[in-house]
Amino acid sequence: MQRAVYDKKKLQILQVAGEIFSKHGYSAAHIDDIASALNVTKGNIYYYFKSKAHILHALHELIFQRYQDALEEMGVTEAIDPAEKLKRTVNAHVKACCEDPIMTKVLLGGLLNELAALPRELQQDIHRKRKDYAEAFTALIAEIPPGKLKSRLPPRLIANCLLASMDSICIWYRKQKSNDSQVVAALAEQVLHGVLDGA
């Protein structure tokens, strides 16, 4: 996946837009709301983004980039045992969800109904990124020997269940003050409990 480059102002716009989309929904939110929250003019927002649709698209790109960064941080790109790689992958995904639940909530909202409001080319790009990410999970699960898997479901169904479980964390999770890493590890272990032996 090609990495997008975000300067500080662009990231600030995306963060505020994510909060507004999460609170009010994409359709009910307006560029005026984002500009007002940032105490800037609409022209300042349009300098960075062509439209509200392009902001939502950029939010999805940013979220998937953060997932990829988390995967690399956990060493998922290393040549390791597939079961261990799945553990690290789930841990990385849960960590990304917990560190920025608002962004993940935007992603989850897009799964439900908001992508239909986007231009077709932007919809297709986001769907492709979602598909690529889900297929990477599926391929990883398919590499794990049957003896290490508790579930007898096909790899694609296991992957979809895992992704749904992890993404839903953003609905109820609130960041902790001191033990985030322990909470993330415990949540990741719970997500994997019905999938891997020894998880």
Q: Could you report the per-residue pLDDT of 134-172, keeping only the tens digit for each? A: 888 898 899 898 888 888 889 999 999 888 888 888 777
Q: Is the dihedral of CA 17, 20, 22, 26 positive or negative?
A: negative
Q: Could you report the per-residue pLDDT of 83-139, keeping only the tens digit for each? A: 888 888 888 888 888 877 777 777 666 545 677 778 889 889 888 888 888 888 898
Q: Going from the N-terminus, what domains does the chain have, and what CATH number goes with each?
A: 60-192 (1.10.357.10)
pLDDT band of residue 1 (cuts 50, 70, 90) is very low
Q: How many beta carbons lie within 10 A of that of residue 124, not counting itself?
A: 12
Q: What percent of the chain clears pLDDT 70, i.e. is strictly above it?
A: 86
Average pLDDT over residues 6-26: 87
